[in-house]
Amino acid sequence: MAPLLEARRLAKNYGTLRAVEDVSLSLEPGEILGLLGPNGAGKTTTVSMIAGLLAPDGGEVLLMGRPPSTNGAAKRALGLVPQDLALFDGLTAEANLRLFGALYGLGGPGLDRAVEEGLAFVGLLERASSRVKSFSGGMKRRLNLAAGLLHDPSVLLLDEPTVGVDPQSRNAIFRQRDKPSLILLRDPSHTAEAGMLRGILTQHVMEVVSKEAFSGPAGLRSARQALRQVSEDKAMAPSDRKDLTALLQSVVNLQDHSTSEKTEALGPRGGIGVPYDTKEEEVTARVGEVYNGYAHSFGGMALQFILMASIEFGMGILLERRTGIWKRLLAAPLHRSTLLLARGISGALISLAIFLVCMGFGMAVFGVRVQGSWPGFLLLAVAYALMASAFGLLLAALGRTPEATRGLAVFAVLILVMLGGAWVPAFIFPAWLQKATLLLPTRWAMDALDGVTWRGLGLASALPAVAILLSFTLAFALLAAWKFPSDEG
């Protein structure tokens, strides 16, 4: 018997780019397949060729032995839920489903029933007459799923599913044949959704199948049909036939004597569900405190702005050395170290002001709050300002000209900011990179700043970072004093 879905040596070129090469797969009814690969690996192109939307440059796709790209019956057996929200915003939810159902050959009472069941499945029955443009993103995604399931496809293709999908498996318990095949294609960059999807699938399978099995007409027909098959199966052991007959007969008896009160005992939706409900709660500074995502953003911006200002600070000293102003300053009865110290303090004060203005704006406009230690927050600000000022002095000491130094300094700052977790939190880095970036002062500053703002940690959490930043300050200052050209002293 031919597979339900078969792809043979698929290939696709975009000009000189080989997007897909020699991809083959085969699925039987009831199987689930996930396509894994990084962005640009050709997953979407492969799905498009399977769905008949894109003609392959090599190979072929067969659905129930026929090519879906040219065979209407094969194409109607395929359901596609694209990554994009393929809906008409100006139409109502019901109108969208009626349109897509008609495209797949549904009509009359069958279309009415499919639309009603589809809206009920995704929890949008009460919003059937609402225009899609008034829906939230989650509601649109649920309607997008209903449109793909409307015609009860034999094969379902999903791209980046984020909501529950209910497999149509009414006879899955009693018959291992003729089960519908649902192919779930997910983007590997959304790995968190895979576990969520498996859990939601399990929950819905339990509810829908148990409801149909114990209270629905299809379940009763399946139980009676299974009873006949068991009685006619001469190869089955007598003990197994007796036990299975008793089980199936109990289901039939329950169906015959079921009432609305008995059905209600199976759960609020009429099916057997998991024995718990889940409730999500964000882990923030304290119970009841809402997470403010701007806290990390403004902390990262403040650290980056200060380092960029330190570049200008260093370039200013280099310009003074070029124009002779620096020599005139050194001609005064001042030691070079005194002058460097004064410039370092002034740079630190400017950096501190930038930090406070940036964070103050976040607090005033975006609700950023120091949920932890205020002393820790201020110590971090001072330590980081001192470190940035010493970094600017080091640039002035090592640089030869402003033009040559500026580009390298900007590159170094961007690396410090990026790997320090100022752009994205460091906890999403790979494990090896999280360890490696502990060598950077920006990583310590960003982690500690997150700790005293939205994490709500105390002073003790900030002190190690303060010590590290002051250590970098001392190292940068000593190196700058050592490397500063002695002929200008």
Residue 167 scores a pLDDT above 70: no
Q: CB atoms < 10 A from the CB of 376, how many?
A: 24
Q: What percent of the chain has pLDDT over 70?
A: 80
- The model's pLDDT over 88-121, given as tens digits with 9 standing for 90+, comes to 888 899 998 888 888 888 888 888 888 888 888 8
Q: How far apart are CA 33 and CA 5, in angstroms?
A: 11
- The model's pLDDT over 125-164, given as tens digits with 9 standing for 90+, comes to 888 888 988 888 778 888 888 888 888 888 888 776 553 3
Asked if residues 461 and 381 have their Cβ atoms less than 8 Å apart, the reply is no
SS3 266: coil
Alpha-carbon dihedral sign for residues 209, 214, 216, 218? positive
- Map out the domains of the chain with their CATH numbers: 5-223 (3.40.50.300), 294-488 (no CATH)
SS3 183: strand
Residue 266: its pLDDT value, please? 45
- The model's pLDDT over 49-94, given as tens digits with 9 standing for 90+, comes to 888 888 888 888 888 888 877 777 777 788 888 877 788 888 899 9
Q: How far apart are CA 75 and CA 79, in angstroms?
A: 8
Average pLDDT over residues 304-324: 89
- The model's pLDDT over 356-389, given as tens digits with 9 standing for 90+, comes to 999 999 999 999 999 899 999 999 999 999 999 9
Q: How far apart are CA 253 and CA 1, in angstroms?
A: 37
Q: How far apart are CA 222 and CA 170, in angstroms?
A: 8
Q: What is the pTM of this model?
A: 0.48
Supply the mean pLDDT for the chain. Answer: 80
Q: Who's near 295: CB < 8 A, 6+ residues apart?
A: 362, 368, 369, 450, 453, 454
Residue 431: its pLDDT value, please? 85
Of 382, 457, 381, 388, nearest to 417 by C-alpha is 388
313-to-286, 318, 479 alpha-carbon distances in Å: 40, 9, 17
SS3 372: coil
Residue 468: its pLDDT value, please? 96
Average pLDDT over residues 391-411: 89
Residue 280: its pLDDT value, please? 59
**Element (H or E) spanning 339, and its range?**
helix 336-366
SS3 92: strand
Q: Who's near 180: CB < 8 A, 6+ residues apart?
A: 29, 30, 152, 153, 154, 167, 168, 169
191 or 32: whose pLDDT is higher?
32
Residue 355 scores a pLDDT above 90: yes
